[in-house]
Chains A and B, each alone.
Chain A
Amino acid sequence: DGGITQSPKYLFRKEGQNVTLSCEQNLNHDAMYWYRQDPGQGLRLIYYSQIVNDFQKGDIAEGYSVSREKKESFPLTVTSAQKNPTAFYLCASSIFGQGNTEAFFGQGTRLTVV
């Protein structure tokens, strides 16, 4: 079955530590996105990629980094520079094209700083 998979589901990070969240899709989508969601809040865009080897900053990119070496994969690294990383992280993918922004989501990674 086609879909988008995030791992791990839960992640705990110590202060000053970098962690990487995995996102893989087999939907053959060109575009992939990372969003952050805080309790009671909407989704805020961290980074997005419309094609392999290219990505762009979203609204809240500071303290995060990404790579897009393969079409299927778009990992997100939460660096020690991100001062408040505890949140629910959602990866999504879509067909990239005019007027078509239906996005498919992974199950999310809940990151907690301990």
Chain B
Amino acid sequence: RKEVEQDPGPFNVPEGATVAFNCTYSNSASQSFFWYRQDCRKEPKLLMSVYSSGNEDGRFTAQLNRASQYISLLIRDSKLSDSATYLCVVPPSGGSYIPTFGRGTSLIVHP
């Protein structure tokens, strides 16, 4: 099983829709997780951290499901500007702390 797996999409949704992505991970000992946003031909930028209690920031909610070993990102009331690739990051197995990225999920919000 890969360290981090994401559905590459694309997820094609209309403005105002609610959309959710999942990211599965293999390291059951992982403690902290992150969601990054990457715009086309740009560098990834931190969107949200995900801790055991989850995290909410405006229209964005990140949650952790330890039992099933996945994290989720929920976007409510989608905007055109939300169109991007969303990457999840988990610590890999083996005790190292090197950020390991999923391949990303592409979101396209259309009018």
Taking beta carbons and an 8 Å cutoff, which residues of A are in contact with B?
31, 33, 35, 40-43, 45, 48, 58, 88, 90, 92, 94, 96-108, 110
CB closest residue in chain B, given A92 = B99
A residues less than 8 Å from B34 (CB atoms): 101-102
B residues less than 8 Å from A97 (CB atoms): 97
Question: 12 interchain pairs (CB within 8 A)?
Answer: A88-B41, A96-B97, A97-B97, A99-B31, A99-B32, A99-B97, A101-B34, A101-B89, A101-B91, A103-B99, A106-B43, A108-B42
How does the 8 Å CB contact mask read for B79-100 relative to A, with 1 for contact and 0 for none?
A: 0000000010101000001111
CB closest residue in chain A, given B100 = A45
Bound: A65/B25 CA distance, A: 30
Taking beta carbons and an 8 Å cutoff, which residues of B are in contact with A?
8, 31-32, 34, 41-46, 49, 87, 89, 91, 97-104
Query: Shortest distance in angstroms between B100's beta carbon and chain A's nearest beta carbon?
Result: 8
Instruction: Say yes or no: B97 contacts A101, CB within 8 Å.
Output: yes
Query: Shortest distance in angstroms between A43's beta carbon and chain B's nearest beta carbon?
Result: 4
Instruction: Say yes or no: B99 contacts A41, CB within 8 Å.
Output: no
B residues less than 8 Å from A101 (CB atoms): 32, 34, 89, 91, 97-99
Instruction: Say yes or no: B103 contacts A105, CB within 8 Å.
Output: no
A residues less than 8 Å from B89 (CB atoms): 101, 103
Instruction: Say yes or no: A45 contacts B44, CB within 8 Å.
Output: no
- Given the known interface contacts A99-B32, A100-B32, the answer about A105 and B44 at a Cβ–Cβ threshold of 8 Å is yes
Q: Which one of A41, A42, A102 contacts B46 once the chains associate, using CB atoms below 8 Å?
A: A102
Bound: A106/B44 CA distance, A: 9
A residues less than 8 Å from B100 (CB atoms): 45
- Given the known interface contacts A101-B34, A107-B43, the answer about A45 and B103 at a Cβ–Cβ threshold of 8 Å is no
Instruction: Say yes or no: A108 contacts B91, CB within 8 Å.
Output: no
Q: Which one of A98, A102, A106 contacts B49 once the chains associate, using CB atoms below 8 Å?
A: A102
Query: Shortest distance in angstroms between B9's beta carbon and chain A's nearest beta carbon?
Result: 11
Bound: A33/B41 CA distance, A: 19
Query: Shortest distance in angstroms between B92's beta carbon and chain A's nearest beta carbon?
Result: 9
